[in-house]
Chain A
Amino acid sequence: DSGVTQTPKHLITATGQRVTLRCSPRSGDLSVYWYQQSLDQGLQFLIQYYNGEERAKGNILERFSAQQFPDLHSELNLSSLELGDSALYFCASSLGLAGGPVEETQYFGPGTRLLVL
């Protein structure tokens, strides 16, 4: 158990809909990262937040957005869903104290499996 929690575990929805995925980081971690993993593909970095502010952006679609709240939990919002958005969505967290690699080592949650029909 990494200490990172994600809800829901599974989500089934229809095209055009909007969903929200939630992540609670490990206690004490300030950075949260979101990744997408499609079937049989590698993990694609989407976005990173540090202490409530966006820090880095990857291959995140404009239909997707995220935020990190004062209590450090994060939400990933996916809108106008398409069939191709079906994937596993992982959240990871790290201390993110702008220090060395120990602080930046990421710990992943169990993921949310999204199925768009």
Chain B
Amino acid sequence: LAKTTQPISMDSYEGQEVNITCSHNNIATNDYITWYQQFPSQGPRFIIQGYKTKVTNEVASLFIPADRKSSTLSLPRVSLSDTAVYYCLVGGNNAGNMLTFGGGTRLMVKP
């Protein structure tokens, strides 16, 4: 399983764009990159998933360079309610592939 490395924590202010980068040097050819968000005492919530280049949905964008050894989750104009832990995961393309959650990035959005 590809290991991921993310910053332990980040601070931001309301209205700013937040970019969280994840390193995954050992990503396999078939692996996808998936980001989850977790609020305290709640289950992780799927945010976005991608394989290469750029993916955008209603809540975030995911940028993946050509070598796919890293990815960046971009949250536009964050609000206080975006304060959460964000997990980057790699894999998920094979049946039975377990998810390995790292420590995640604890994002604190300040007023």
A32 to chain B, nearest CB (A): 12
Binds B, one of A40-48, A64-72, A75-83: A40-48
Answer yes or no: A106 CB below 8 A from chain B CBs: yes
Answer yes or no: B42 CB below 8 A from chain A CBs: yes
Do the beta carbons of A106 and B95 come within 8 Å of each other? Answer: no
Given contacts A105-B46, A107-B46, A108-B45, whether A42 and B92 have CB atoms under 8 Å apart is no
How many Å lie between the Cα of A108 and that of B92 in the bound state? 15
What residues on A are CB-neighbors of B81 within 8 Å?
A: none
What residues on B are CB-neighbors of A43 within 8 Å?
A: 44, 87, 99, 101
Chain B 78-111 interface residues, beta-carbon cutoff 8 Å to A: 87, 92-104
Cβ contacts A to B, 15 pairs, < 8 Å: A4-B43, A42-B102, A55-B96, A88-B41, A92-B44, A98-B95, A100-B32, A101-B51, A101-B93, A104-B92, A104-B93, A104-B95, A106-B46, A106-B99, A107-B46
Answer yes or no: B71 CB below 8 A from chain A CBs: no
Answer yes or no: A56 CB below 8 A from chain B CBs: yes
* Contact pattern, B 44-79, Cβ under 8 Å of A = 1, otherwise 0: 111001010000000000000000000000000000
What residues on B are CB-neighbors of A97 within 8 Å?
A: 95
A-B residue pair count with CB separations less than 8 angstroms? 71
Chain A 21-68 interface residues, beta-carbon cutoff 8 Å to B: 33, 35, 42-45, 48, 50, 55-56, 58
Number of interface residues of B (CB under 8 A): 24
How many Å lie between the Cα of A104 and that of B94 in the bound state? 8
| Smallest Cβ-Cβ distance to B33: which chain A residue | A101
Instruction: For the complex of A and B, list the 5 residue pairs with the smallest distance between their C-beta atoms, beginning with the closest.
Output: A108-B43, A98-B95, A101-B32, A43-B101, A55-B96
Do the beta carbons of A105 and B34 come within 8 Å of each other? Answer: yes
Given contacts A101-B32, A101-B92, A105-B92, whether A2 and B98 have CB atoms under 8 Å apart is no
